[in-house]
Structure 1
Amino acid sequence: MKMRKGVIMRAKLKFAIGILTLTTIIASCSSTKNLKEGESLYVKGNVIIDSDTISKENKEKLSTYLQSSLMPKPNKRLAGVPFKLYFNNMAGDSANKNMIKRFFKKIGEEPVLLSDVNREYNENLLRNRMENIGFFNAEVRSDTLVEEKKATINYTAKPNLIYRIQSVKFDIDSTSQLGRDILSSSDKSLLQIGKNYSLDVILNERDRIDNDLKNKGYYYFSPDYILVEVDSSHRNNRVDMYVTVKKETPAQAKIPSKINKIYIFPNYTETSSGYQRSTRNAELFDSSYYFIDRRRTFRKPVIANHIFFKPGDVYNRTAHNQTISHLVNLNSWKFVKNNFVDSKEVPNALDVYYYLTPLPKKSLRVELLGKMASVYNGTEVNVNWTLRNAFKGAEQLSFNVFGGYETQTGGNADLNSSYYRYGMEATVTFPRILSPFGHINPSRRFIPKTYVKGRYEFLNRRKAYTLNSIALDYGYIWQESEEKQHDLALLEITYVQPKGISETYQKQMDTIPALRHAIDPQFTIGPNYNFTFQNTMKQHLKNTFYFKGNLDLSGNILGLIKGADFNKGKTFKLFDAYFSQYIKISGDGRHYLKLSENSQLASRVSLGLSYSYGNSRSLPYLKQYYVGGPNSIRAFGARAIGPGTLAPEKLSNGLFYADQTGDIKLELNTEYRAKLAGFVHWAAFIDAGNVWLQREDVNKPGAKFSKNFLNELAVGGGAGLRFDFTFLIVRTDFSIPFRIPYLPKGERWVFKDIDFGSSKWRKDNLMFNLAIGYPF
């Protein structure tokens, strides 16, 4: 059964309409209808800052901070509606007699009443919170407002003057080793003169001292042994701080510890006897590590390379954490535990035990996926078999067999009504860099990996053509830091060969040359390098960034050997396909500006450049750039823009466009994102971009890149909702074109044509995208 594009659009709209309908039904209910006489629903607690010395911006921050401390919390709301309370009310008191009502009761929420709120407790809590940040003489009062059984409590907080640090003194015995080690890092103290008093800063300073001492061998030291005394007796709102070591600190905590013996259990299984098992059958390796592994399940040098202690080393927390991190990231053990025990042989020394519980050596995972896009609907199945510790060196061997079927719900039924594909991918990953130059680790903190991949795929587009493709990769992945990652494929080979081209497709191909490019035999061979930088995980930063750069080379050595020159007619085939020669550079940069706790401005610049030469005139189809679609320029269909001012070519029934691809790409996006209520967010966005060809093509007039490229950008914009379920983000976007590049000059901006009241205009211009995750 074939469905038209308009039908599919209406089907997709049901998702958004359903949510709005449910919200409307819930909103029509009363939140107080089940309250008893004299009861009031607690709906909100406000904190009002009464101060003439605090700026408006800081008042808002302080109010938000204090308000988050109030107890209890009112019933949860979505778009201002206490939906969980409504579910509870719909269930009523007779929920046990009805299955549907029991369900509503389960997902519902009991009303939070005014009688549940202890105002005196909250007043003391707010005073305590203000004292913790330096407002020692804070005052708090409260009052209650009840309207139609709904209660709001207003807390008026008067901070008065804040206390600041006047002096910091480390009152430490400098004659002891512990004292000298603490004083050696006192210049890095978080307690700064002129800053306001803060309990959090004091606690962080104790942790800082403890971390510093842990890296100097003080295994038994604790932040609780540090005392920070505060003298606030001055009348100038100033405090003096004295950092000392508590007298009751144990003697063992005042002495650095060294590492004595290191025991490793690579094949450990927990028993009732606890972690420390017998070491009688231990085998000494490299004069440093005792292995207890009778079955020899792991090669000793592999594990030893990831242990950052050696006998005689002073204990160091960095080495401690780094060892655990490496062992975990080898992905061979379910549990990684370690134990430091006082040595019975050497004073002030520790014996170290590593207990490694292996993951199952083999595992099987089956995934069944459903797809829904603007043109295709379908299913896909993936069966993944993994063999861990394949060669006793924490290697991982995986086989993935996949297959899928998709049917077109709009478009050219003769050529693209449906297709199926299947294939297999095999990957071997080594937790080290395999190099003729020996063991290489660019960063001791992270584990580098070597990978070898092979992939075969068969695609049958039924009445159009079939494609056989083979891909081989060999390369390295390594992390330079938490923010920087490198992926170098020393050799990347892709081979695509078409078969069984139908007469119908051949006729369309003669009319629309773009269709020919999609089935050209393709052969690329060369290195591929990716660099990724991101600090978006640092949520405390106002500005965060993401950047991914790519350098892709193909056929350079082959071209030199063969002397290929397309312009002189010297082109050569390899395995019955013209091998590609090109240099391709891509960059994707993103900036996230945090405007508030619940809003941000996200922007992206995506740039792609390429130069084809020798054996090639343009990039192979699989390597070309395109724009449009739910994660690109959302007002246009996927691959439906460009290249340049070339209009998309419709096929026979006028519903399907040939893919529009190019050798050069520019895309710009910006999106304002904000929270509405609960898990519902919204966004407004503007997208712009296009693709171009490197050279003139008589079949594609206006497609070549020129100095007028800015006048050839497609522009669109719109708005949409995001439903953030934590584990899944569902995105709905409505967008319309603002600028259409293939229209005549002077007519490309189409604001004057916008007509939401016209069904024909909406059908031709209003684009709805339903997608998973953010577009960037």
Structure 2
Amino acid sequence: MSKKHSNKKTEYIRYFIALSLFFVFGCSNTKYLPEGELLYTGGSVTVKDSVIKKKERKALEKEMEGLLRPKPNKGFLGLRPKLWFYNIAGEPKKQKGFRYWLRTKVGEPPVLFSKVDLDYNASVLRNFTENRGYFKTRVSADSTAKNKRATAEYTVTPKQQYIIKSVTFPDDSLAMSRIIGRSSRRSLLKVGKPYDLDVIKAERERIDARLKEKGYYYFNPDYILAQVDSTKGDHEVKVRLVIKADAPPKALTAYKINKIIVYPNFSISKDSLKYKPEDVVQYKDFTIIDTANTFKPRVFDRAIYFKKGDLYNRKDHNLTLNRFVNLGTFSFVKNEFKPSDSLPKTLDSYYYLTLLPKKFIRVEVLGKTNSASYTGTELNVNWNNRNLFRGAELLTVSVFGGADFQLSGTNNGKNIYKVGTETSLTWPRFIVPFFHVEGSSEYVPRTKATVRYEYQNRTQLYALNSFKASYGYLWKENVRKEHQFNLMDITYVSPNHVTAEYLADAEEDESLKKVIEKQLIFGPTYTYTYTNTMQKRKKNTFYFSGEADLAGNVTGLITGANVKKNDTIKIFDVPFSQYAKFRGDFRHYLKLGKESQLASRVILGVGIPYGNSGVLPTSKQFVVGGTNSIRAFRARSLGPGSYLNTTTDNDYLPDQSGDLKLEFSTEYRAKLFSIVKGAAFIDAGNIWLMNKDPNKPGGEISKDFMKEIAVGAGVGLRFDVSFFILRTDLAFPLRKPYLPDGERWVIKDIDFGSGPWRKENLILNIAIGYPF
């Protein structure tokens, strides 16, 4: 062995010994304990029962161990680093500085065994098991001490679990008792199921929610008494639900709505309830006291679900509050119900609404980079008017501009500049009478019209003028389901200032020529989104987005473009596009632990050109590669199929696209420390052409398309700074579809020590937010 290798081996051994000493001695925290004290390292529960299945017994033990108090110091692989930091920091002399920060923020004080009350924990476990139907449970507690550490051991010996024999609901003459009886089929208490106090509590909540839908505003679950009889039968209980005799009369009364009073200009800071007689507007069932004449009365008619004479209903109550919030014009919404002075058994409903500023400006400055080695910046200035026509309409006028530079590489000097403006107007309703969505929703349906112009200049190459206009509807069924339907979606693209250099290259590469073609695209689009990812406690959550884009259908029928095979029909001297495009994006998130998950995504896209179009417009075609796609390949550089652009000798990167797309990714995510999270991922996929293109051999879809799948892998870091996530991903290819068949897997060629390999294969992606 050479001296160099021997020195390196010795150095590794030193590091290993130092690390071992740190773990063995550095984290030995017991020497810091006060005299006579023991370090509490946790408690365990053992259930002794021959009837309960082993799997259920283990689950019961784990659940009960979570009830033990206090919790021991947090550990990792048997170590307690937080306690170690607390101990080595010592007692700080002042409440600031590094030592104070290390002890109070990073460290954690020792949990002493003297703080453990064995009898209290035993009683908690006894109550828990009896609440689950294991009556007359015996619990014993003991402890073990060794090397100044102590543990607590609890043995639970339950009796046979009691089963529900019968359930009886209130049968008195009260009207509410009849309502409860009619809802008994939805009861959570089921004959033959184990007795469980938590289920009884949930049943009382269910009954209360049902009564709240029938006018019983003042009722609450505490007015329901559950009488449990365990004296008859073999380990069986009879449950009888009754209305308490001391329930107040107003709790037993169903109330109707009388007056509905709205204060649209309520202010917490001053007395805004004073008004003049001319400030009062009576509109249908509503009394509106709008001192500044801020809104048209119909705004409140659409938002408030109550009408005079309706029974109080909690669902309508909550829907109304949510609608006011979702209008986007109020910063504070308060609702109050008071017994009416004019009519018995009625409530007057008051709504106090505090306005957001009507007009505001938002400025956004963005920095960005992409896998094509472009670095740039973008400025967006948005001016907003929240109540343009006194109907809670939102007007947004935006002006934006940006630039992308490649400081070195094939595109050096060919920078991209863009500038543009966009105006949108959103109405908080559907303004077309025949368009209707069934059912009530807490989310306000909206109609939106948008006009956008953008000028993009790729220096030394070409410039593009883009005009876009859309008109459509947005609505949510609930928090999980969302729809967007654009009745009209128009795009017009016109090139100018095309350089001779680009035209020369376009003669050799048809894909470059299509970029500078005039485009006219119009037709309806529809997007449906479903997600339950907001349910943080679920182990499996999902996201799905489906899009349909149909262009030129009606126009093709009118002009005859659907049947004409040779002639291209033009509108205003521009060929219009005809195609049907569909895209589905499905994501699954598997929660592995408190700070880790496995995220997976599948994207399937299909674009079918027909009639007036032989291919999809360039702006509508699918692409792969880049920061949010297959990260081991540069943006828009992959595919279609096994095609590799080698025909042109231009100084800029190719821009590949296709009619079909298949992409899938799997990413393991876990918290490393503080704000830093790590990830390991695999991406795969490709794009293909629907029809054969002689200029792109191997690009069309075939029965062997799976052999043309690109595969990449990598690792990344995510820096979560609360208001945004900075993501860095380092990826490299595992399979290159453009290589000859049989040579496409390149795993054997991976060599991180080789400079040329790293330069050709390692791709660094920097982005904001997760890739999916």
Shorter-chain TM-score: which interval?
0.7 to 0.9
Instruction: Give the equivalent residue in structure 1 for 2:132.
Output: 133
**Structure 1 stretch displaced more, 505-514 or 352-361:** 505-514
**Structure 1 stretch displaced more, 603-612 or 323-332:** 603-612
- For 1:32-431, what aligned pairs fall within 5 Å after superposition? 32=29, 35-38=32-35, 42=40, 44-47=42-45, 49=47, 51-55=49-53, 57-75=55-73, 92-94=90-92, 96=94, 99-101=97-99, 103-104=101-102, 107-115=105-113, 117-120=115-118, 121-136=120-135, 137=137, 139-145=139-145, 147=147, 151=149, 153-158=151-156, 160-161=158-159, 163-233=161-231, 236-270=234-268, 283=280, 285-374=282-371, 375-409=373-407, 411-414=409-412, 416=414, 418-431=415-428
Q: Which residue of 546, 562, 565 maps to 2:543?
A: 546
Matched AA of 1:250: P
**Structure 1 stretch displaced more, 506-515 or 359-368:** 506-515
Give SS of 2:453's match.
strand
Residue 254 (structure 1) shift: 0.7
**1:447 has 2:444 as partner:** yes
Residue 156 (structure 1) shift: 3.5
Instruction: Give the equivalent residue in structure 1 for 2:11.
Output: none
Q: Which runs of 5+ in 1 are unaligned?
A: 1-22
Structure 1 residues 116, 365: closer, same or farther in 2, change over 3 A? farther
**1:456 has 2:444 as partner:** no
Kept in 1, the 8 Å contact 2:179–2:211? The answer is yes
Paired with 1:100 and 1:653, the residues of 2 have a C-alpha distance of: 57
Residue 765 (structure 1) shift: 3.6
Residue 745 (structure 1) shift: 1.6
Q: Which residue of 515, 538, 555 maps to 1:518?
A: 515
Task: Provide the aligned C-alpha RMSD in A.
Answer: 3.6
Q: Which residue of 656, 666, 674 maps to 1:660?
A: 656
1:243-274 CA-partner distances (Å, limit 9, x unpaired): 1111110011111111111111122223676x
Structure 1 residues 672, 272: closer, same or farther in 2, change over 3 A? closer
1:128-164 CA-partner distances (Å, limit 9, x unpaired): 34443334415252435555x6x46344342524623
Structure 1 residues 672, 49: closer, same or farther in 2, change over 3 A? farther
Paired with 1:631 and 1:62, the residues of 2 have a C-alpha distance of: 43
Paired with 1:366 and 1:89, the residues of 2 have a C-alpha distance of: 48
Paired with 1:510 and 1:530, the residues of 2 have a C-alpha distance of: 38
How many residues get paired? 748
Paired with 1:481 and 1:415, the residues of 2 have a C-alpha distance of: 50
Residue 543 (structure 1) shift: 4.6
Kept in 1, the 8 Å contact 2:225–2:241? The answer is yes
Structure 1 residues 231, 293: closer, same or farther in 2, change over 3 A? same
Paired with 1:414 and 1:477, the residues of 2 have a C-alpha distance of: 43
Instruction: Give the equivalent residue in structure 1 for 2:688.
Output: 692
Give SS of 1:657's match.
coil
Residue 692 (structure 1) shift: 0.9
Paired with 1:98 and 1:171, the residues of 2 have a C-alpha distance of: 62
Residue 89 (structure 1) shift: 5.7
Matched AA of 2:451: G
Give SS of 1:688's match.
strand
Residue 644 (structure 1) shift: 0.9
Matched AA of 1:132: N
Residue 80 (structure 1) shift: 8.0
Paired with 1:158 and 1:126, the residues of 2 have a C-alpha distance of: 8
Residue 397 (structure 1) shift: 0.9
Residue 552 (structure 1) shift: 0.7
Give SS of 1:746's match.
coil
Structure 1 residues 101, 48: closer, same or farther in 2, change over 3 A? same
1:620-657 CA-partner distances (Å, limit 9, x unpaired): 22111012233322333322221011025598699x63
Kept in 1, the 8 Å contact 2:32–2:87? The answer is no
Paired with 1:723 and 1:81, the residues of 2 have a C-alpha distance of: 26
Instruction: Give the equivalent residue in structure 2 for 1:582.
Output: 579
Matched AA of 2:237: V
Structure 1 residues 650, 215: closer, same or farther in 2, change over 3 A? farther
**Structure 1 stretch displaced more, 37-46 or 173-182:** 37-46
Paired with 2:677 and 2:138, the residues of 1 have a C-alpha distance of: 36
**1:633 has 2:633 as partner:** no
Give SS of 2:176's match.
helix
Kept in 2, the 8 Å contact 1:648–1:657? The answer is no
Residue 457 (structure 1) shift: 2.0
1:219-245 CA-partner distances (Å, limit 9, x unpaired): 111111011123344684433322111
Kept in 1, the 8 Å contact 2:551–2:580? The answer is yes
Matched AA of 1:704: E
Paired with 2:92 and 2:350, the residues of 1 have a C-alpha distance of: 58
Instruction: Give the equivalent residue in structure 1 for 2:620.
Output: 623
Paired with 1:337 and 1:713, the residues of 2 have a C-alpha distance of: 56
Paired with 1:67 and 1:678, the residues of 2 have a C-alpha distance of: 28
Residue 352 (structure 1) shift: 0.9
Paired with 2:596 and 2:360, the residues of 1 have a C-alpha distance of: 42
Kept in 1, the 8 Å contact 2:630–2:712? The answer is yes
Residue 477 (structure 1) shift: 0.7
Paired with 1:369 and 1:155, the residues of 2 have a C-alpha distance of: 57
Kept in 2, the 8 Å contact 1:715–1:740? The answer is yes
**Structure 1 stretch displaced more, 484-493 or 205-214:** 484-493
Matched AA of 1:212: R
Structure 1 residues 750, 133: closer, same or farther in 2, change over 3 A? farther
Paired with 2:703 and 2:564, the residues of 1 have a C-alpha distance of: 24
Task: Report percent identity of matched pairs.
Answer: 45
Structure 1 residues 403, 605: closer, same or farther in 2, change over 3 A? same
Superposition TM-score, scaled by structure 2 size: 0.87
Kept in 1, the 8 Å contact 2:684–2:711? The answer is yes
1:97-120 CA-partner distances (Å, limit 9, x unpaired): 974545545633442332574242
**1:715 has 2:714 as partner:** no
Q: Which residue of 457, 473, 477 maps to 1:476?
A: 473
Matched AA of 2:190: Q
Kept in 2, the 8 Å contact 1:257–1:350? The answer is yes
Q: Which runs of 5+ in 2 are unaligned?
A: 1-18
Give SS of 2:460's match.
coil
**Structure 1 stretch displaced more, 339-348 or 703-712:** 703-712
Residue 751 (structure 1) shift: 3.8
Residue 533 (structure 1) shift: 2.3
Q: Which residue of 610, 613, 616 maps to 1:613?
A: 610
